[in-house]
Structure 1
Amino acid sequence: MHVQTNSALGAVLSRAKGASFASSVFNLMNAIMGSGILGLAYAMASTGIVGFCILLVLVSSLAAYSIHLLLKLCDQTGGWDLGVIMGFFFFLFFNKHSISEPFLFSRFSAMSSYLFILKSELPAAINSLLSADSPGNAWYEDGRLLLIIITLCVVLPLSLLPKIGFLGYTSSLAFLFMLYFAVVVVVKKWSIPCPLPHNITSLSECSPKLFVISSKSAYAIPTMAFSFLCHTAVLPIYCELDRPTKARMQKVTNIGISLSFLLYFISALFGYLTFYAHVESELLLSYDAYLPRDTMVIAVRLAILLSVLLTVPLIHFPARKAAILMLFGGRAFSWLIHIAATLTILCVVLILAIFVPDIRNVFGVVGSTTSSCLLFVFPGIFYLKISRQPLRSFDSVGAALLVVFGVIMGVISFCVIVITWAKSS
């Protein structure tokens, strides 16, 4: 069995190999970096600079280690996709279609966060392009209406296509957009003085906090977990890697996570040092009151909006595939099912994005539930159940600790977030 699965994996890898080491790192960083970067400055304000550094190092290190466990499982399952490994586990212990559920939830949450960004940023982007004396309360200032229009006119037609491979070319721009975002955050640190204008801060609030503990701190780790969730893309990238080995792919992982960590930390640090405790949960919104028509801020807002808009249909495809697999199994392609699943998923995600009041709620709930499972709990459980290593081996103990950390982090964060909601309401 072990020899056969290794042969199967080798056959898959030999058919798909060819991507260079550098391009694999670039692809992994594109999978890692997304809307989570907009919430990390708020996470730093909620935990302090030192507290944030400790947590970010912890989460990124555990993310790299959980990928290490998944790569080791490739040899034993013959799986070249995370879905194959997870499906192998669920087939043995539950049923073969249960695997669709965690993937479906993760894709729903990602699409909701992206649509929320469109809802909050589109009105500001349009206003920044119009003249200052334009009338207020116009229809284009309603983020919910704009979100519905953009979903119907752009997201829905692209999502209805049976194949959407050409949109993959746009993903190469994502990293450049994120790099530009970090550069703008650093540069604009010196454009907004502290104390902040409009008398919202005093001089005493212009000193950074090293450690902060409050109810808002519960959003920090879930937001970080959401930001480093790339596990569904790791093994396909491994397949396409030239001369694929676990050690070589682990280097790709370590470099990709390290560079993402660097961009995350720089943008979070300078975003926090610009607004301190008054940083918004979605960083770009913090600049509106002080730099409403700044060219660099407008450009970075438009770049991120374009990236997010073109990413939603790409995320929708695996979500629809998981939903159809869960409900209809391996049935042949049907336009009726295809269209119905597309409309249903987009309606649910659109409703979530419209009625969620704050993006930190998306990061918090998604990070404490779905992201913690896919990042920590599932890789550890899969390794313990599938691996032939003794339970006292280093990786088995590490997998068990990974599961424990994921469960504790998820439960505590989710409970604190729910209690905070209840008190605020």
Structure 2
Amino acid sequence: MGMSIFNLSNAIMGSGILGLAFALANTGIILFLLLLIAVMVLSIYSIHLMLVCSKEIGTMVYEKIGEQLFGAPGRAIVFASTSLLYIGAILSYLFIVKNELPSALKFLMGKEETFTAWYVDGRFLVVIVTCVIILPLCLLKNLGYLGYTSGFSLSCMVFFLIAVIYKKFQIPCGGLELNATSTILSNSSAHEDMCKPKYIVFNSKTVYALPTIAFAFVCHPSVLPIYSELKDRSEKRMKLVANISFSSMFVMYLLTAIFGYLTFYDKVKSDLLYKYQSKNDILILMVRLAVIIAVVLTVPVLFFSVRASLFEMVKRTQFDLRLHILFTCFILFFLNILVIFIPTMKDIFGVVGVTFANMMIFILPSAFYLKMTHQDRSKFTERIWAGLFLALGIIFSLVSVPLVIYDWVKSGGSEHGH
């Protein structure tokens, strides 16, 4: 049971943690806390629906649940949602490489943070890392030892949280240098206002908060595989695993967001780590390198799931080397193009959060449950709750998608890392 909790915590934890301080800055502490609690509780409820469906249908494969209830379209929707969710996660990981590797290299080369050259350009570096490290690993026929990198990834994020808490007490208000802010500092009222935490905030970036939180909590493709390996398996034990895992990640997410926000306040970026300067700071360099290594090694793990889903969709059961290489190269090429041209990390969190994370958390579990129990009159109350849950997911998409598009049109995505 302990290993199941560890595995599910690994599945929950991801790059979404880097965007939570930005979400808090654009909602305020109280509103952010309410949203974080709400998404955690709703995610646990959606896992409950998944477990009930799995038990009733007699399978622990999410795609087979979709196929049993909705036929081939149900299977295709689960495949597509899972694959595109993983692609969104891979994009966020590659974006971390694009954002963080230049700063780490500048530090190791002894260059100033403002130093610019083609070989420290994040767009160039993400292509090099993809070709030299990620592509060879993705071309392997099976995962092997890479399956164990999730533990290292979780350790890196714990290390990141410790560094965020520690740096809060070292970095001056807003992370601004004294000589660069003499004008602001001379105006004590402006300085106090800038360094005063806000509890409820509404602005054009508030729309990204809920998708970012949803992206941070989504882990649903991993729930049934973990459930299938749980010793003395029962629905009750798996619910306990989910409760402990989500509660642990809730605490970790809340601490990261609070301390990240209280370090930079309104100056926080959508990639929290981007705000920390590596200059003469070994701790931040170590955090950067640890996170970069973790995400680079995690990309192939997710990529294997995406490619397997694609092969399943085209009904390829036998290994075909040419298709294996072609699919791998094409997908990585496409992902690199997206990473190069996507201006900010909040765009990734926003799109994936309002679409595929929403599908996995809200829409699919509730739709499956309603379909499964449509002739069971004894489940009337449960069906009402599931129906409300489905309606909530649909409303979330209908409201959030237009607002995200409106913000894109209005801002043009011009502000780097914000």
Q: Output the TM-score relative to the length of structure 1.
A: 0.90
Deviations 1:19-39 (A, max 9, x none): xx1111000010000100000
Aligned partners of 2:262 and 2:113: how far apart in 1?
A: 33
Q: CA deviation at 1:132?
A: 3.9
Q: Say whether the 8 Å CA contact 1:194–1:206 is kept in structure 2.
A: yes
- The worse-fitting range, judged by mean Cα deviation, of 135-144 and 218-227 is 135-144
- The worse-fitting range, judged by mean Cα deviation, of 373-382 and 171-180 is 171-180
What SS does the aligned partner of 2:377 have?
Answer: coil
Aligned partner of 1:12 in structure 2 is none
Q: Say whether the 8 Å CA contact 2:64–2:75 is kept in structure 1.
A: no
Q: CA deviation at 1:98?
A: 4.5
- The worse-fitting range, judged by mean Cα deviation, of 227-236 and 121-130 is 121-130
Q: For residue 400 of structure 1, what is the amino acid of its counterpart?
A: G
Task: Pick closer, same or farther for the CA change 1:176–1:394 going to 2, 3 Å.
Answer: farther
Task: Pick closer, same or farther for the CA change 1:404–1:391 going to 2, 3 Å.
Answer: farther
Instruction: Return the match for 1:393 from 380, 385, 390.
Output: 380
What SS does the aligned partner of 1:117 have?
Answer: helix
- The worse-fitting range, judged by mean Cα deviation, of 315-324 and 78-87 is 78-87
Aligned partner of 2:416 in structure 1 is none
Instruction: Return the match for 1:240 from 229, 232, 252.
Output: 229
Deviations 1:322-373 (A, max 9, x none): 11222x2144221111111111111111111111000000000110111111
Aligned partners of 1:89 and 1:374: how far apart in 2?
A: 16
What SS does the aligned partner of 1:47 have?
Answer: coil
Structure 1 unaligned segments of length 5 or more: list them: 1-20
Instruction: Return the match for 1:265 from 254, 262, 274.
Output: 254
Q: CA deviation at 1:268?
A: 0.3
Aligned partners of 2:76 and 2:361: how far apart in 1?
A: 20
Q: Say whether the 8 Å CA contact 1:194–1:203 is kept in structure 2.
A: no
Aligned partners of 1:148 and 1:232: how far apart in 2?
A: 28
Aligned partners of 2:144 and 2:317: how far apart in 1?
A: 22
Q: CA deviation at 1:293?
A: 2.9
Q: Say whether the 8 Å CA contact 2:8–2:222 is kept in structure 1.
A: yes
Report percent identity of matched pairs. 41
- The worse-fitting range, judged by mean Cα deviation, of 404-413 and 214-223 is 404-413
1:36 matched to 2:16: yes
Q: For residue 318 of structure 1, what is the amino acid of its counterpart?
A: S
Instruction: Return the match for 1:213 from 194, 202, 227.
Output: 202
Task: Pick closer, same or farther for the CA change 1:296–1:47 going to 2, 3 Å.
Answer: same
Aligned partner of 1:83 in structure 2 is 63
Aligned partners of 1:76 and 1:349: how far apart in 2?
A: 38
Aligned partner of 2:216 in structure 1 is 227
Q: CA deviation at 1:265?
A: 0.3
Aligned partners of 2:242 and 2:92: how far apart in 1?
A: 25
What SS does the aligned partner of 1:293 have?
Answer: coil
Aligned partner of 1:49 in structure 2 is 29
Aligned partners of 2:405 and 2:173: how far apart in 1?
A: 34
1:316 matched to 2:336: no
Aligned partner of 2:117 in structure 1 is 138
Q: CA deviation at 1:383?
A: 0.7
1:128 matched to 2:114: no
Aligned partner of 2:93 in structure 1 is 114
1:294 matched to 2:273: no
Instruction: Return the match for 1:194 from 161, 173, 182.
Output: 173
Aligned partner of 1:343 in structure 2 is 329
Aligned partner of 1:16 in structure 2 is none
1:285 matched to 2:265: no
Aligned partners of 2:74 and 2:203: how far apart in 1?
A: 42
What SS does the aligned partner of 1:215 have?
Answer: coil
Aligned partner of 2:409 in structure 1 is 422
Q: CA deviation at 1:165?
A: 2.6
Deviations 1:210-253 (A, max 9, x none): 00011211000000110011000011101111101000000000
Q: For residue 258 of structure 2, what is the amino acid of its counterpart?
A: L
Aligned partner of 1:63 in structure 2 is 43
Instruction: Return the match for 1:334 from 308, 315, 320.
Output: 320
Q: CA deviation at 1:391?
A: 7.7
Instruction: Return the match for 2:364 from 378, 381, 386.
Output: 378
Q: Say whether the 8 Å CA contact 2:22–2:270 is kept in structure 1.
A: yes
- The worse-fitting range, judged by mean Cα deviation, of 113-122 and 398-407 is 398-407
Task: Pick closer, same or farther for the CA change 1:159–1:257 going to 2, 3 Å.
Answer: same
Aligned partners of 1:254 and 1:135: how far apart in 2?
A: 45
Task: Pick closer, same or farther for the CA change 1:51–1:95 going to 2, 3 Å.
Answer: closer
Q: CA deviation at 1:296?
A: 1.4
Aligned partner of 1:11 in structure 2 is none
Aligned partner of 2:355 in structure 1 is 369
Q: CA deviation at 1:402?
A: 1.4
Aligned partners of 1:132 and 1:152: how far apart in 2?
A: 25
Aligned partners of 2:64 and 2:379: how far apart in 1?
A: 26
Q: How many residues align?
A: 401
Deviations 1:254-278 (A, max 9, x none): 0000000100000000000011011
1:411 matched to 2:391: no
Q: Say whether the 8 Å CA contact 1:97–1:325 is kept in structure 2.
A: no
Aligned partners of 1:410 and 1:242: how far apart in 2?
A: 37
Q: CA deviation at 1:133?
A: 6.5
